[in-house]
A and B are shown apart, each in its own frame.
Chain A
């Protein structure tokens, strides 16, 4: 297995030597990897940085933090610095306080009276450390699990409804001949051109009239029918042979049974694709839940994350850590469902 992977990865067009296309391919792919995974990796690394580490300049890739040490006679642990002494030697000392461009330092081993050191003569002693409290504190102190639950409810219920509604519409539009079929399809696809910001206020008014403000249903229902989903499923269903439907009709199946027992199982690959889309849309949706939900206990994750951003101060270390947490479920979903996408078309059993 490992051998084969290695052979595969080191396969070159030029045989033993590097062909120009090999170099270009590798370069292109590496660039792609960097562009795709760079930000995510940066995010993960930064989520482990302390608040001070985040604003440090120049920024570091790995989460470093300054070493601190408890010194006799001082209540708080003091930060350690490497200090260039007047005689040219280097010594590790703890900083008591800093006044302007001068630091007062003590020897942590042998604390005597502080000595004065110039600002530029000291460099902080740093160590690799992961600030797990970025994750633990919000999980404990904020309503994070509540937000997570709300997000899960919205995502699963909305995806389920989306799949049902869209597949029924797609079935009708792909397998029945009726007057105005094309116009209806064009109309549905046409709604793709209307941005959400245009319809936000009217939809909000409708949702208000239904009394669904501050209810998860108000988040779920307005977006349940999607033109993208109808179109995607319709195109797939067009490839399901009509003879199967005729056969089912001869087999005394009702139209509902044809939908549920023939069309839905055969459209599974397309449904899986739509499910992934829907989960991603719903999970990442921010604006609409922000509009509809005003009570803290109803917040979805994305709205909840927003709470870490104050008017004057943003708690970036929490934002980043919780962003990583919100990314995890969707990553798993994708890893699980992507095999359905690649499975592609179910063998049709025809001919």
Chain B
């Protein structure tokens, strides 16, 4: 078990600068998820931590020791790959034992460790089989087992669930959480799936174009996104964004105006901004009250109504031509073409300035 610290870490492939000044601290036993759209550098960052890619700037510290020039083999980490990367010519047992043999561990202990891990992952009966004789979920377990037997300082998981079907993914997600609790291990998990990130993580690191956009607990990211990118990335369906204008800002909050629609009083600190500045107003689909004229009522028309039984999605158009999604629990009677009143609760409205930064909440 170990702590990890990244200090202004940079990576460039020739002229392409893919990781920019990443600072990050991971505590012992934390489950950290790197999340971001594909191509954001999250896998590269993970490979740099693993030691499979060299850093071109900054330091990586494990347990306080700078490991920049220590090889992957000697860092004492274990990695689960997206493709599992099981050795096709070896049996499950040999796959799991390979790393231990390389460490010159006595045979008895290898057998003991492999069997313990196999038992934990319920793959004992497959130990004699080759990877090609296993299903996707079983291979996944073997790949995780190969990491577990090493008793690594940190587990690195590179999109380990992305090759599984939806049902299995939910199952394996729960198993990963269990595993983390049981092993009390430090884990770093890379994914592009924000649901995976929300459900697994103690701490989420949102990356975009090689830069850290925000680091925080899942609900902090959901409730208080630092910027428009994080706001849009975390949460499903995506947060609605509407173009607005700053009408006034004072010690009591901000009044934002969506032209031709309504004005919204938001308890945010916009005192540094001049009136008339463009803003973006964000409201999550599940936070919109509808069917009644609440605070700052807006009237729209339903264009598509998706009724899933337990929940409903209403796609609406606003009089100013913008579209908005409403997510609500249960079933609604709304149909295509119906008029609909919506209310944006002022405490749940997010405002972003023209650079995409969130306006900070009013400090008491």
Contact = CB atoms under 8 A, between A and B. Distances in A.
Interface of A: 241, 243-244, 246-254, 257, 261-262, 265-266, 346-351
Interface centre among A244, A246, A249, A261, by most B CB within 10 Å? Answer: A246
A346 B88 contact: yes
A305 B71 CA distance: 57
B343 interface: no
Interface string B69-96: 0011110011101111111110000000
Nearest to B131: A349
A253 B83 contact: no
Contact of B102 (A253, A265, A349): A253
A348 B87 CA distance: 8
B102 A350 contact: no
Give the 8 A-B CB pairs with smallest separation, nearest first.
A349-B88, A251-B99, A349-B131, A247-B85, A243-B85, A347-B132, A252-B102, A252-B73
B52 A251 contact: no
Given A252-B73, A252-B102, A244 B85 contact: yes
B87 A262 contact: yes
Given A250-B50, A250-B73, A253-B73, A266 B89 contact: yes
B146 interface: yes
B99 A246 contact: no
A246 B83 contact: no
A241 B99 contact: no
Given A246-B81, A262-B87, A349-B87, A253 B163 contact: no
Contacts of B83: 241, 243, 350-351
B163 A266 contact: no
A164 to B, nearest CB: 19
B287 interface: no
Given A249-B73, A251-B146, A265 B89 contact: yes
A318 to B, nearest CB: 47
Contacts of A241: 83, 85
A176 to B, nearest CB: 14
Interface residues of B, number: 32
Nearest to B103: A252
A261 to B, nearest CB: 8
Interface string B136-147: 100100000010
B78 A250 contact: yes
A41 B84 CA distance: 53
Nearest to B53: A246
Interface string B50-73: 111000000000000000000111
B350 to A, nearest CB: 40
Contacts of A348: 88
Contacts of A247: 79, 81, 85-87, 146
Contacts of A266: 88-89
A84 B249 CA distance: 135
Interface string B99-133: 10011000000000000000000000000001110
